[in-house]
Amino acid sequence: MPNRELMSKYEGNTYVGYLDISGFKQMMSDNRKKAEGVLDAFYSTIYDSIHRANSDDSNLVKFNAIVISDCAVLFLSRQDNIGRNDVDKIEGLSIILEIVKNMNRIFISHRYPFMTTCSISYGYFHYENRREIRYLRKNCIRGQAYMDAFSDSESNEPRMQPGECRILKKPLNIALPENQLFSLLKAKGKHYYFYWMLQDERNISSYELSYKKTKENMYDNLIRLIQDSWSTNQPNRLS
């Protein structure tokens, strides 16, 4: 049986993703049962994904996750017999995109469907599972890749929207090979956006248009609801 426990220590250049459940705080306020079901699906899907990704012991690149409440730090690790820890940029990007794609498709198909945002960066990362004592568990994570992924997930330039996954371009500096998975990446500003919900790159433009219209219609529908609710309680509606 392969050992799939989180490693005690990793240090190297790798991919780090910051995955966050969209709208979870509101979910907790509106429907606690749904929120609990969503969290259960979030945890179990990541757990199952780790088992699937790491089932082949001959593969030197492993998928790891540190999950806290409604967010997770995802990272790839690598170590061979001569101590080379850096994850290859092309191979690693293919692995983490495939994992994020599969997890998001499970999330959106769950009994309680939910969306996430995910920001991914490549660079130096350090993880250490430090000695634990009663009532205290220590997972030390640091490095530029983690800081960049976390900062980008919180950034308003531009603000991430539910369902989005994006990769910071700057640390990569690579030419992406032509294949079906990488064809679902679209360069915008300082990011590559990953359209994990699509099968064909030719559908990206129509998806973006539909997404924009859906958001706009939601805003318009809310305005109409407020207008109608307000007008029914006023003797004379303002023109």
Domain ranges of the chain: 9-197, 202-239
Q: What is the pLDDT of residue 232?
A: 65
177/41 Cα distance (integer angstroms): 33
Q: Which helix (H) or strand (E) holds 9?
A: strand 9-21
Neighbours of 219 (CB within 10 A): 9
Unique residue bearing structure tokens 């609990």: 36
99/121 Cα distance (integer angstroms): 15
174/169 Cα distance (integer angstroms): 9
238/215 Cα distance (integer angstroms): 27
Nearest Cα to 46, choosing from 94, 109, 4, 99? 99
Q: Do residues 123 and 79 touch, judged by C-beta distance below 8 A?
A: no
Q: What is the pLDDT of residue 122?
A: 98
213/219 Cα distance (integer angstroms): 10
Q: Which residues contact 186 (CB under 8 A, 6 or more apart)?
A: 192, 193, 195, 201, 204
Q: What is the pLDDT of residue 239?
A: 45
pTM as predicted: 0.89
Give the distance from CA 16 to its chain's centroid: 10
211/204 Cα distance (integer angstroms): 10
Q: What is the pLDDT of residue 204?
A: 97
Kindly give the confidence (pLDDT) of every residue in the chain, 239 residues in length, as a single tens digit, with 9 standing for 90 and above: 344 455 678 999 999 999 999 999 999 999 999 999 999 999 999 999 999 999 998 899 999 999 999 999 999 999 887 778 999 999 999 999 999 999 999 999 999 999 999 999 999 999 998 767 676 767 789 999 999 999 999 999 999 999 999 999 988 888 999 999 999 999 999 999 999 999 999 999 999 999 999 988 988 888 888 888 776 665 554 44
Q: Which CATH architecture has domain 9-197?
A: 2-Layer Sandwich (3.30)
Q: What is the pLDDT of residue 236?
A: 55
Q: Do residues 118 and 197 touch, judged by C-beta distance below 8 A?
A: no
